[in-house]
Amino acid sequence: MKSFGIIAAAALLTMSGCATKDYVNEQIAASNQRTDSKHAELAGQIERQGRDFGYRHQEIDGRLGNLQTSVNNLSRTAQEALDRANAAGKLAEGKFMYETVLSGQIAFKLGSDELSADGKKALDELAAKLKSDNKNVYLEIQGHTDSSGSDDANMRLALKRAKAVHRYLAINGAIALHRMSVIALGEAAPVADNKTRKGREENRRVSIMVLQ
């Protein structure tokens, strides 16, 4: 009986040891699983943050590229305006002062050369500024379009809108006719990407180059 008791005790110890070992293994496995899950979650967060950073970086690069394009085109159109004015003997100093832009979708009705209330208000403010500055300036009024439609249609609309601005400044702004000229550039001088809706909206405009 004593031997049987010893054997039974040993068996119980062995079974207990096995149970303890299994329990420990289960706990280790569960811990490893939680650790792996945390690693996977962290890796996912890092990957998402990397993608988000990449998207933001691309967006910033795109905006900077559009801004640089606008600056380059402004420099080119301003210089061309100066060259034309100088060739016509219009300027005394040959200096570009600033540009006023009437956005096409705000200043005009769609596909029309009729000035909106907002467009007229902007021109009234420009005329008031010119009178307040009291300088001998020359205005080149440039009509621009996006790349939609035919070249002929774009040039006609650009010219009509530029002439509408010219007429309003002469009649309502009391700007002398010999201090203004009109030119249609159509789609030749975009300031934004014509492949996007926003870019096309920015390209549909009338630019007023104020020169001295």
Q: Is residue 58 part of a domain?
A: no
Cα–Cα distance measured from residue 125 to residue 132, given in angstroms and rounded to the nearest whole number: 10
Q: Is residue 41 part of a domain?
A: no
Residue among 117, 129, 133 at smallest CA distance from 168: 117
Query: How many domains, in total, are found in the chain?
Result: 1
Q: Is residue 62 part of a domain?
A: no
Which domain does 186 fall in, by range? Answer: 75-211
Q: Is residue 16 part of a domain?
A: no
For the record, the structure tokens of 27 come out as 């706990």
Mean pLDDT along residues 63-83: 65
Asked if residues 120 and 172 have their Cβ atoms less than 8 Å apart, the reply is yes
The CATH number of the domain where 94 resides is what? 3.30.1330.60
Q: What is the pLDDT of residues 120-172, one digit of tens each?
A: 999 999 999 999 999 999 999 999 999 998 999 999 999 999 999 999 999 99
* Helix (H), strand (E) at residue 141: strand 138-144
- Minimum mean pLDDT range among 6-15, 101-110, 178-187: 6-15
Task: Write down the pTM of the prediction.
Answer: 0.64
Cα–Cα distance measured from residue 192 to residue 63, given in angstroms and rounded to the nearest whole number: 10
157-190 as b/e: b if 16+ CB within 10 A: bbbbbbbbbbbbbeeebebeeeebbbbbbbbbbb
Q: Tell me the pLDDT band of 110, cut-offs 50, 70 and 90.
A: confident
